[in-house]
Chains A and B, each alone.
Chain A
Amino acid sequence: MIACSHSKTPRARVAWIFLATGAFISVVLPASAQDKQSQEPATLPGCVDQVRSGGPGGTQERFFPLPLPKVKAAATEALQALEFEVKEKTNDLLEAHKARHMGLFVGSGGEKVVLSFREAEQNGQKGTMVTGKTKKSIIGIVGQKTWTSAVLAQTACVLQKDKQQ
């Protein structure tokens, strides 16, 4: 408003109004339009998150009481559903890159998720242990998120849905 009072021409005043509106949108809308939950990567509705994590940014592990090929296929499906392009590095390693989106303010995408699979046994039950980690890139880091929990939860959902069908 102080700047506005110094503006001499109507054009300059209009310009300041535009800028003020832009600033208002950039500050107020992100906070009001998105609740906290929607700011984090979300899984399928109705899926229970049972993630055993070592911290949101760290390496996370999850055991699935199913054979490795089945779990790997479900993880691939989960990654694809979350808009990752999946590359199979080796038989027990998946690397996936999230598609980038140019946004109005920070955009999103560019994260890399690495999942490794190994046959394991837990409580006398044979299955597959999946270890995952999200790596963020320097470009666009502001809009990037940690996806490991979402991917593991989504994998569980896919396996659950396949079992129901």
Chain B
Amino acid sequence: MIYRLSLAALAVFFAVGVSAQTRSVVDLTGPKLPARDKKCEIQFFDGKAPDSPHEIVGHIRVYISRDKLASRSETPVDRAKPEFRKRACRMGADAVVLVRQTVSNSGEFQTLYVKGDAIRFTK
């Protein structure tokens, strides 16, 4: 009995700990555009919007949380890009400007927050 419980506890330990939890929130600000293909190509700009004419379609906030007891390595910002891509494609955007990032710690959890503006090129 103890043997089985121990194995179950270890399984839960690895299942919860190894997997980082990703979630995202979208605030639409611009015109509602038709969604693009799920794996569409999205350009990423770091901090500064491109010079070419564009409009902001919405804001995307991505949160990646990891349990520090199970996963020691920091979460790189690149880990947030697939989620940005998925959301931006659904919004019909062409690119994402990564505007802000924060790492916060609370107990055994560390959360990486990245905010991006989804944009559409107008020319």
Contacts and interface: CB of A to CB of B under 8 A. Distances in A.
A42 B2 contact: no
A11 B3 contact: yes
Contact of A14 (B3, B13, B70): B3
Nearest to A40: B105
Contacts of B65: 83, 101
A48 interface: no
B105 A83 contact: no
A150 interface: yes
B68 A83 contact: no
Contacts of A56: none
Contact of A22 (B10, B72, B102): B10
Contacts of A39: 105, 107
Given A11-B3, A15-B6, A18-B7, A42 B103 contact: yes
A41 B111 CA distance: 10
Contacts, number: 108
Interface residues of B, number: 34
B35 interface: no
Contact of B6 (A22, A42, A104): A22
B105 A41 contact: yes
Interface string B86-114: 00000000000000101111111111010
A103 interface: yes
A104 B13 contact: yes
A23 B105 CA distance: 24
Contact of B61 (A14, A16, A43, A80): A80
B108 A108 contact: yes
Nearest to A45: B103
A108 B10 contact: no
B102 A81 contact: yes
16 contacts: A14-B3, A18-B10, A19-B2, A22-B6, A22-B10, A25-B13, A25-B69, A29-B69, A38-B68, A41-B106, A42-B103, A81-B113, A82-B111, A103-B108, A145-B107, A150-B104
Given A34-B108, A82-B111, A83-B65, 19 more contacts: A11-B3, A12-B2, A15-B2, A22-B10, A25-B69, A30-B69, A30-B108, A33-B69, A33-B72, A42-B103, A44-B102, A83-B63, A83-B111, A101-B109, A103-B69, A143-B108, A145-B107, A150-B104, A161-B100
Interface of B: 2-3, 5-7, 9-10, 12-13, 16-17, 21, 23, 61, 63, 65, 67-70, 72, 100, 102-111, 113, 115
